[in-house]
A and B are shown apart, each in its own frame.
Chain A
Amino acid sequence: MLQIENLDFHYPGSEPIFLDASLKLKSKTFSIIIGPNGGGKTTLLNIIMGFLKPVKGKLQSEFNQIGYVPQAHRIDLEFPIRLIDHVRIGCIQRLTWWGGFDQETESFVKKLLEKLDLWSIRDLRLGELSGGQLQRAQIAHALASNPDLLILDEPTSNIDPKAKKQIMDILHKLKKEITILMVTHDLETLLPETDQVLLVSNGIEIVEKSTLCKHTAMGLYEHRLSTLGGNS
């Protein structure tokens, strides 16, 4: 479980992004974060991952290991790394004293790549992968550390419907085993899987699925506007 209470946060010299915000993530649930650009979605992820310290408030986490899938455009496609090495460095905590990996870890990597249908392309450089393969490679890297919380930042953006479905199938299976927190704009596909929707727009608002007028982002924004009195 992860709990944030009365969170205040602002970057030095800037307007507050969060004021008295609270959030609760239960174990083995699937939560999604939606909101406009610049609303604080990535800031919230960075606070949860411990890269940013809240100005005020309390963050309690029972998660031991966090896996992180960054936005696709943040991935350096020029970087000389093969898919298999990318997954190996996800298991870096299993490194042996001589700086390599033992047989057990190598079989774990193989199984993980097979599970995500990546084994046959393991020797390709990340820059040679298609959008969908690249996202699955990122998920494989994140899962290699055996996380109990998986954070994904827009993993289904800019990929074709088939690749999107593959990722959704993976997440569907995973949600029985670990907690998933995902930033997305792709509500139509995701909503049926979701336990909790968080609207992050200079604050954190929990949105009940049942209150949504439409399964679209616009529906959620409309919902927020109505709760604010329709003035923003």
Chain B
Amino acid sequence: MATVASLLSSIASGIMGTYVVIKRIVFIAGSISHALLGGIGVCIYLYSKHPSPLFYPLNGALVFSLLAALVIGWVYLKHKDREDTAIAAIWTIGMATGIIFASMTPGYNVELMNYLFGNILWASMREIKLLICLDVILLLAVFRYRYLFLAISYNEKQARLNKVPVDRLYLILLALVAITVVILIQAVGAILLIAFLCLPSAVAGKCTKSIHQMMAAGVGFCSLFSFIGILLSATWNIPLGATIALVCSSFYFILLLWKKEA
């Protein structure tokens, strides 16, 4: 189950990580990944009061991450100079909401900790199905919009002159990043997620020529880093999410040094 969840996470991360890196929206992805803790906290609280599938934590995470993506996107498009402040505000509002609701729910702190730091080993069948659905949505959207996303990532000004609906596509891209973040939260957790989303793609970007090659290599590196992380975590009995994040960071810096030497 962990292997399947890890592979599904790697597909999402390799593809969307590429856009996050080339569009330079790493901190937006970071903000979304922390904001969704609000949704998880609210759902944990609501589930404790009214146990219903509607209040599964990942549902709350999905709603909050999409809302965060749209708010940040709107601020970027309408008040570009305030974007960094909005990113920070969304980041903290989500986390604060999650902490408050989790504190109101006795006995559920362990679950919140799992989402904070991730643990792919406890992925259930229900969650695997959700991950498959989200991966399929992601793949279809990226296939349909591949050249449009490339156009707005490369040069927004030229894209606008070519009558590309840049604003709409930017919001769609952020919504897909939000979906990816939800997929990845189980693998590495909200706090360390940004390393798994960006670093394998950044590594891939150093050794590929096109965006499509970068995506394929990104998926490969994500799978490799997760596999090494799972192996090291099991061998030394250390937290999995943190191990994967450290593996990603180590490879990234090794490559930077190697490229500098070359």
Contact = CB atoms under 8 A, between A and B. Distances in A.
Which one of A92, A125, A128, A145 has the greatest number of beta carbons of chain B within 10 Å?
A92
B22 A80 contact: yes
A92 B209 contact: no
Contact of A85 (B157, B164, B210): B210
A65 B150 CA distance: 20
Contacts of A78: 205
B62 to A, nearest CB: 25
Contacts of A89: 147, 150-151, 154, 159, 162
Given A70-B155, A85-B210, A89-B154, A99 B145 contact: yes
Given A68-B157, A90-B162, A93-B163, A80 B214 contact: yes
Contacts of A82: 209-210
A170 interface: no
Nearest to A138: B158
Interface residues of B, number: 27
Given A66-B161, A80-B213, A88-B147, 16 more contacts: A51-B160, A80-B22, A80-B208, A81-B154, A81-B211, A85-B150, A89-B151, A89-B162, A92-B151, A92-B159, A95-B147, A99-B144, A99-B148, A100-B147, A123-B209, A145-B161
A28 interface: no
Interface string B98-117: 00000000000000000000
B16 to A, nearest CB: 15
Interface in B136-169: 143-148, 150-151, 153-155, 157-164
A70 B157 contact: yes
B147 A81 contact: no
Contact of B158 (A88, A93, A100, A141): A141
22 contacts: A68-B158, A70-B157, A76-B154, A80-B209, A80-B213, A81-B210, A82-B210, A85-B147, A88-B147, A89-B150, A89-B151, A89-B159, A89-B162, A90-B158, A90-B162, A92-B164, A95-B147, A95-B148, A99-B144, A99-B145, A142-B158, A145-B161
A90 B143 CA distance: 18
B164 A51 contact: no
Interface of B: 22, 143-148, 150-151, 153-155, 157-164, 205, 208-211, 213-214
A79 B210 CA distance: 9
A93 B162 contact: yes
Interface in A58-91: 65-68, 70, 76, 78-82, 85-86, 88-90
A87 B145 CA distance: 17
Contact of B211 (A80, A95, A123, A145): A80
